[in-house]
Amino acid sequence: MPELFTLAVQNLTAPAVLFFALGAAAGFARSDLTIPEAFSKGLSIYLLLAIGFKGGVAAQATGFTADFAAALGLGLALSVTMPFVAFTILRAVSKLDRATLAATAAHYGSISIVTFVAAMDFAKLAGLQPGGFLAAVAAVMETPGIIAALFLARAPSAQPGGQNRTSLSPELLREVLLNGSIVVLVGAFAIGLITGQRGMVRLDLFVNGLFAGVLCLFLLEMGLVAARRLQGKSRLTARLVAAGVAIPLCGAALGCLGALALGVSADTGGVLMTLAASASYIAAPAAMRIALPEGDPGVYLPLAVGVTFPFNIAIGIPLYFALAQAVL
Residues composing the chain: 328
What is residue 162's predicted lDDT score, i.e. its pLDDT?
Answer: 42
Q: What CATH architecture does domain 4-25+37-155+167-327 belong to?
A: Up-down Bundle (1.20)
Q: How far apart are CA 193 and CA 58, in angstroms?
A: 8
What is residue 37's predicted lDDT score, i.e. its pLDDT?
Answer: 82
Read off the DSSP letter of residue 293: T
Tens of pLDDT, residues 205-229: 998 888 888 888 887 887 887 788 7
* Cα 97 to Cα 43, 110, 301, 310, distances in angstroms: 35, 21, 16, 26
Report the chain's C-alpha Rg in angstroms: 19
Beta-carbon contacts of 30 under 8 Å, excluding residues fewer than 6 positions away, are none
Tens of pLDDT, residues 164-205: 444 556 766 676 667 676 678 778 888 988 998 899 999 999
What is residue 228's predicted lDDT score, i.e. its pLDDT?
Answer: 81
* Strand, coil or helix: 179: coil
What is residue 143's predicted lDDT score, i.e. its pLDDT?
Answer: 77
What is residue 159's predicted lDDT score, i.e. its pLDDT?
Answer: 45
What is residue 156's predicted lDDT score, i.e. its pLDDT?
Answer: 52
What is residue 167's predicted lDDT score, i.e. its pLDDT?
Answer: 54
- CA 111 to chain centroid, in Å, comes to 3
Read off the DSSP letter of residue 141: T
- CA 25 to chain centroid, in Å, comes to 23
* Spatial contact of 224 and 27, defined as CB atoms under 8 Å apart: yes
What residues in the chain have per-residue pLDDT under 70?
1-11, 155-169, 171-173, 175-177, 179, 181-182, 233, 286
The enclosing H or E element of 233 equals none
